[in-house]
Amino acid sequence: MGVIIGPRVIDAGLSLHLAWLSPVPVAAGYPSPAQDYFDGRIDLNAHLIKDITSTFVVRVTGDSMERAGISDGDELIVNRALEPRDGSVVVAVLDGELTIKRLRITPGGVVLQAENPKYPDIRVSALSELTIWGVATRCLHHV
Amino acid sequence: MKPAIMRQMPEIAHVDVNCFYASAERVFDPSLEGKPLIVLSNNDGCAVTRSPEAKALGIQTGDPWFKLAPRAREWGLIAKSSNYELYGDISARVMELLGRYSAWLEVYSIDEAFLGVKGSPEHLLDLGRTIKAVVARNVGVPVCVGIARTKTLAKLANKWAKHNPAFGGVCRWDSVPPDQQEALMARLPVIEIWGVATRITKRLNAMGIQSILDLKRADPVRIRERFSVVMMRTVLELQGTPCIPMEEARIGRDQLIFSRSFSTPITTAQDVRQVLSVYAQMASGRLAKHNLQAKLLTAFAGTSHFNARQAAFPSVCVPLPMPTADPVILTKAAHALLPAIVEGTRYARAGIMVTDLRPSGNQKPLELFENPHEERHIGPLLEDITRRYGRGSIGLGHAGIRGGPDWTMKRGMRSPRYTTHWEELPLVKAA
């Protein structure tokens, strides 16, 4: 039942642009000048996903991140492989639930902030006390 | 041989996900962490995966759900229906990640793989720990790693790493002192070794071979005479001689089976006909995807084992006129079972199997025997439409009947298909 995947390109971030079909009709014997410049349509996966193994799309419920431009019903692209830093928008596990917060790492301690004054901060003494599920990289905001 | 060269001998890492289905469920539902969790087989039949907490309750693989359900609340036991789309995606992520650590990756099953690795003992242990940490970080599931000179020992090392927390989930066989290796092998019965089935165990026991250590010390030639060359390889592998090579894709010599149990038994030939049509077309799509053709099709149906009064297990084996992946021919062949179907009998399962698979197109049949449907690429077309618009969106003949055929699977406790359906994305709370 084994399936072997032979020698392969190791760097998953590398994508090759090979020959694409021309988007413009080409009259025989008279090549379109645009043809040489067509390199494929914009590929959202290529631009929004750095590592396919660690990237997930999640949906937001609630209004606690409004000030960061993240609204109820928006989708977020979350990369689990990124190191959470001061200022990162993170998905943290709080009481067994995936929760979205702004991470603040200060000399005085670590804070999970809402971006809405209605919601209180959550303070811990060290990052290790938190379970950070992933770091949000993009918000797909419904306009 | 110089020690420096000795250290560079290739080894094999065996990586597998702990309690795979349960771990995949926990990635998106952290509230399941630390709770007894089981994942049920098709049709919510029985437990197929148990979290460590469920194992601690004494639940065994194969325990039927109808027996566990009455006590689930009292135990705090959570059951999930199989979510194959989720498990398939999580598996693909793990395998892709593993492929970054070795040019040679053999995906052995949905949750385990062998990797060819090379380096000093320290380097190999580091690599194992890195793999474990990166899979946990990127994908969110726990793995254990066993590293050894042979596949059989790598599997054993992995098992050891799982059961002995002192290893931290990574065990390299040759880094463990020989007296500890022997103590482990003396403690474990032969059934625990990869490739040793229950039936063979009885015969080994009769020869006085009880433990893995007994088997390792057995005479390989005698084992080959009594059993087979396969068993001899296991002995040699236990002794540290690699005999089971990294496999080339074996799917070509394998078989494809499509078979399910029904949520409600079906009782008419018309229903059986519909089921067989669906599976024949699924088989056609799968064959086309792997550029394979089948030469033999088996269709079967069966009553429930709990239904002794009506016991019936009809099956037919249909040699196909030529190697084919054509959905029309496969569907017709599957319908050969229909005369054996007795109206009113309660069939609990049905399915088809295609065997004698071969790569398509390397032997062109005579034009006279060339199949008219294949020319039109109906199989790939059906598969393409199914992929785009979902299962059941198109089908040939009886498989095309829409409107919820009532033999489809019961999956009442399935979690969302978090990573494959836009409507079922995991929810994150902004509160």
Segments making up each domain of chain B, as ranges: 177-248, 251-400
Instruction: Looking at the complex, report in whole angstroms how far the Cα of residue B141 sits from the nearest Cα belonging to chain A.
Output: 11
Q: Would you state the pLDDT for residue B250?
A: 38
Torsion of CA B206, B211, B213, B219, to 10 degrees: 10
Of B30, B247, B427, the CB nearest to A96: B30
- Name every residue whose Cβ is closer than 8 Å to that of residue A80 and which is 6 or more positions away in sequence: A54, A55, A56, A133, A134, A135, B137, B138, B139, B140
Give DSSP secondary structure letters for B80-141: E---HHHHHHHHHHHHHHHHTT-S-EEEEETTEEEEEE-S-HHHHHHHHHHHHHHHHHHT--
- CB-CB under 8 Å, A8 with B30: no
- CB-CB under 8 Å, A5 with B430: no
- CB-CB under 8 Å, A59 with B138: no
Q: How far apart are the first and last CA of chain B?
A: 65
Q: Would you state the pLDDT for residue B255?
A: 67
Instruction: Looking at the complex, report in whole angstroms how far the Cα of residue B119 sits from the nearest Cα belonging to chain A.
Output: 18
Average pLDDT, chain A: 81
Indicate the SS3 state at residue B202: helix
Q: For residue A9, what pLDDT band results from cuts at 50, 70 and 90? A: very low
- CB-CB under 8 Å, A100 with B429: yes
∠ CA B355-B359-B362, nearest 5°, is 135
Q: With contact defined as beta carbons under 8 Å apart, do B296 and B356 qualify?
A: yes
Q: Would you state the pLDDT for residue B109?
A: 77
Residues of chain B with Cβ-Cβ distance to A64 below 8 Å are 430-431
- CB-CB under 8 Å, B246 with A80: no
Residues of chain B with Cβ-Cβ distance to A6 below 8 Å are 103-104
In this chain, the answer to whether the domains covering B177-248 and B251-400 adopt an identical fold is no
Residues of chain A with Cβ-Cβ distance to B138 below 8 Å are 51, 53-54, 80-81
More confident call, A109 vs B258: A109
Instruction: Looking at the complex, report in whole angstroms how far the Cα of residue B91 sits from the nearest Cα belonging to chain A.
Output: 10
Q: Which one of A22, A50, A101, A125 is the catalytic residue?
A: A101
Mean local confidence (pLDDT), A134-143: 96
Spell B24-52 as b/e; 16+ CB within 10 A means b.
bbbbbbbebeebbbbbbbbbbbbbbbbbe
| CB-neighbour burial class of residue B307 (10 A; exposed 0-12, middle 13-18, buried 19+) | middle
Q: Which CATH class is domain B251-400?
A: alpha beta
- CB-CB under 8 Å, A2 with B108: yes
Here the tokens at position B70 are: 């009455």
Could you tell me the strand order of the sheet in which B78-80 lies? B47-50, B37-40, B78-80
Residues of chain A with Cβ-Cβ distance to B246 below 8 Å are 2, 4
pLDDT per residue as tens digits for the range B68-123: 999 999 999 999 998 878 988 898 899 889 988 987 888 777 888 999 999 999 99
Residues of chain B with Cβ-Cβ distance to A45 below 8 Å are none
A64 is catalytic: yes
- CB-CB under 8 Å, A51 with B430: no
Residues of chain B with Cβ-Cβ distance to A114 below 8 Å are 430-431
Closest C-alpha to A64, from A130, A127, A120? A120
Q: Would you state the pLDDT for residue B390?
A: 56
Of A53, A97, A100, the CB nearest to B96: A53
Indicate the SS3 state at residue B153: helix
Here the tokens at position A55 are: 């990237």
Q: Would you state the pLDDT for residue A5?
A: 41
CA distances from B11 to A75, B104, B107, B119, B241 (A): 44, 11, 16, 8, 11
Low-confidence ranges of chain B (pLDDT < 50): 1-5, 7, 248-253, 363-370, 400-407
Chain A to chain B Cβ contacts (< 8 Å): 124
H or E segment to which residue B266 belongs: strand B256-266
Rounded distance, CA B214 to CA B199, Å?
A: 17
Compute φ and ψ for B390, nearest 5 degrees.
Answer: 95, 155
What is the bridge-based pairing of β-strands A122-124 and A109-113?
Answer: antiparallel
- CB-CB under 8 Å, A57 with B429: no
Average pLDDT, chain B: 84
Answer yes or no: is the ipTM higher than 0.85. no
Q: Which one of B112, B237, B374, B383 is the catalytic residue?
A: B112
Q: Would you state the pLDDT for residue B108?
A: 79
Q: Give the residue from chain A lying closest to B112, CA to CA.
A: A2
Q: For residue A93, what pLDDT band results from cuts at 50, 70 and 90? A: very high
Q: How far apart are the first and last CA of chain A?
A: 48
Q: Would you state the pLDDT for residue B381?
A: 63
pLDDT per residue as tens digits for the range A65-76: 999 999 999 999
pLDDT at A2 over 70: no
Tokens 């049509």 sit on residue: B277
Torsion of CA B289, B100, B51, B151, to 10 degrees: 90
CATH architecture of B177-248: Orthogonal Bundle (1.10)
Instruction: Looking at the complex, report in whole angstroms how far the Cα of residue A88 sits from the nearest Cα belonging to chain B.
Output: 15
H or E segment to which residue B292 belongs: strand B292-303
Instruction: Looking at the complex, report in whole angstroms how far the Cα of residue A30 sits from the nearest Cα belonging to chain B.
Output: 34
What is the bridge-based pairing of β-strands A89-94 and A97-106?
Answer: antiparallel
CA distances from B44 to B55, B67, B419 (A): 18, 12, 22
pLDDT at A132 over 70: yes
